[in-house]
Structure 1
Amino acid sequence: MSSVYDFTVNTLDYQARALSDYRGKVLLIVNTATRCGLTPQYGQLQDLYAKYREQGLEILDFPCNQFREQAPEEGKEYAQLCQMKFGTEFTIFEKIEVNGDNAHPLYVFLKQQKPEDEGNAKFQDLLIRLASLGEKREGSDIKWNFTKFLINRKGEVVARYAPSTEPQELAADIERLLAETA
């Protein structure tokens, strides 16, 4: 596999969706949860989407219940909660696993492309590490909810951001990628 366009994922209705449908778009792929201290990032994600979607940004939301079971809702219930609480309009996909033997192939690929989080260490990163104590993590594993991967218009993974990196901090990187042609 050479780009995210080589993968197929399931919608909330368990329908296969080829990521090649997003060819030519800038993608922000995020593993999320509704009962996490970082869940308010949904509001910032929606702000980014509202500001940049007409220029070609798509946010792909993958709920994940692997981190202290902070995404217990299923399917439509999950999406309704996000829409009611944060006004989300971007696509929420089927709940997946991002680490371990059952990690979704997309996330296996993303982690191979960008094995480490970028950005400055913050106090919030320390809190995340403390919260995940006792959970087995290896090398490139996703550390927590709201790890973000930025994908250029060619389907290449260009950055991986720590969960504590707030979506608004990605605006300059998103703008740079939106200015590039595929």
Structure 2
Amino acid sequence: MNRVILFNKPFGVLSQFTDKGTEGSSRPTLSGFIAEPGFYPAGRLDKDSEGLLVLTDNGALQARIAHPKYKRPKTYLVQVEGRPDAKALDALRRGVVLKDGKTAPAEITQVDEPLGLWQRDPPVRFRKSVPDAWLRITIREGRNRQVRRMTAHVGLPTLRLIRWRIGDWELNDLAPGAWRWASETGA
């Protein structure tokens, strides 16, 4: 049986077990949180993003989770700068043209600020004169920094990005930096 770990990746943590950055670099990695041997992340979250990271000890399962050809839905809670209007939301729903091509259509819903969401460290910058809003975005691709580039493209820069769900796996009440075992049926 394939083993699966669900991890709530905190802001600033690299989605890898070692830091291959500059000499003497000491950025936090997965090894500071998960000591189970033989596990690898199925996909990535950039260090400025938070939330669900799925790890497995099976390469074939890892590919089924992460590879774009499987069109696994990934849902994000996204705090954006500005107030979304119908034109911006419709553009995201249809797909926008980025430097690496047009994105597939996305599911977009404007939502209230999520209740019970943990505080980010460091906190998101707050400016009294600039409103913000929350979106729930589901995509079935996985391009580098795709959600951030999509929201910026329609004039809504991302302030905070939390991956909440991959397939049937969901963060639920998993605290930042914590992990739990899961069944592979989420794939």
Q: Does TM, normalized by the shorter one, top 0.5?
A: no
The alignment's TM-score, normalised by the length of structure 2, stands at 0.31
The alignment's TM-score, normalised by the length of structure 1, stands at 0.31
Larger Cα Rg: Structure 1 or Structure 2? 2
